Amino acid sequence: DAGVTQSPTHLIKTRGQQVTLRCSPKSGHDTVSWYQQALGQGPQFIFQYYEEEERQRGNFPDRFSGHQFPNYSSELNVNALLLGDSALYLCASSLGAEGNQPQHFGDGTRLSIL
Which parts of this chain interact with other proteins (CB under 8 A)?
Answer: 3-4, 33, 35, 40-45, 48, 56, 58, 90, 92, 98-108
Any alpha helices (H) in 2-114, and if so which ranges?
none
Residue with smaller CB distance to other proteins, 13 or 45: 45
Residue with smaller CB distance to other proteins, 44 or 73: 44
Smallest separation, CB 93 to other proteins (Å):
11
CA distance linking residue 110 with residue 8, whole number of Å: 8
Residue with smaller CB distance to other proteins, 84 or 99: 99
Smallest separation, CB 15 to other proteins (Å):
27
Contact 84, 31 (CB under 8 A): no
Smallest separation, CB 29 to other proteins (Å):
13
- The residue type of 45 is F
Smallest separation, CB 16 to other proteins (Å):
29
Residue with smaller CB distance to other proteins, 76 or 81: 76
Contact 54, 48 (CB under 8 A): yes
Q: Which of 81, 63, 75 is nearest to 18 (CA)?
A: 81
CA distance linking residue 99 with residue 1, whole number of Å: 24
